[in-house]
Homo-oligomer: A and B are copies of this chain.
């Protein structure tokens, strides 16, 4: 009985430790995703008619905000996918040490920042400043992809990794994520020539990671 409780205590302690890191990270991911909506602006309609704005004007103003919706959806799903993978990553880890905490902190800093470039794209995608807006947006995601690499490096050390984590899974993780930094860099370089191509690469990337099966399916 005594040894049973001791075992349970140790396990609970360990669970609690990475558990709180996960819960905190989840909070930041969830809030960053939800704050994106604050960048959507209610259209301010000029009172062209003396009796106030009419439905047609409002409908057209709402439709005109499509760059905001596009930026909102792209950022939302990119952060969501990142959360799903963060989730998968955390399940491979047993302990949180200083390196992991700070690699995670750096990623969270950038995730927290996402609503800002999103708002910049929403504001300027239809203007001649779109190249700078898209370069800024995908440039931030270059940094995020690098931060994810650093997190993988911090997590895949023997001292923090779950000894039962399947080697094939770690390899797959490393392989699929290696694509992030160069492809977001490509999106950044493409932005001055074609903002549409730049946003297209960003969209293609979250769809690619969304359908990447191995990291989501629990190990059999």
| Chain A residues packing against B (C-beta within 8 Å) | 1, 3-5, 7-9, 11-12, 15-17, 19-20, 22-24, 26-38, 40, 42-43, 45, 49, 51-59, 62, 72-73, 76-77, 80, 83-84, 87, 91, 95, 97-98, 101-102, 105, 108-109, 112-116, 119-120, 123-124, 127-133, 135-136, 192, 210, 213, 216-218
Contact = CB atoms under 8 A, between A and B. Distances in A.
A38 B40 contact: no
A132 B113 CA distance: 27
A4 B3 contact: no
A109 B73 contact: yes
A52 B108 contact: no
Point out which of A3, A7, A24, A28 has the most chain B C-beta atoms below 10 A from its C-beta.
A24
Contacts of A54: 128-129
B30 A28 contact: yes
17 contacts: A4-B5, A17-B218, A20-B26, A20-B87, A24-B30, A26-B27, A28-B34, A35-B35, A37-B115, A52-B129, A55-B130, A55-B132, A55-B133, A62-B120, A72-B113, A76-B109, A97-B216
Contacts of A113: 37, 40, 72
Contacts of A37: 32, 35, 112-116
Contact of A83 (B3, B24, B76, B91): B24
A98 B128 contact: no
A31 B29 contact: no
5 smallest CB-CB distances across A and B, nearest first, come from A27-B30, A55-B132, A58-B129, A31-B34, A58-B132
A133 B102 CA distance: 29
Nearest to A59: B132
Nearest to A212: B98
Given A28-B34, A57-B129, 14 more contacts: A4-B4, A8-B8, A16-B19, A27-B27, A35-B38, A37-B113, A38-B38, A38-B115, A51-B128, A52-B127, A53-B127, A58-B136, A84-B105, A98-B216
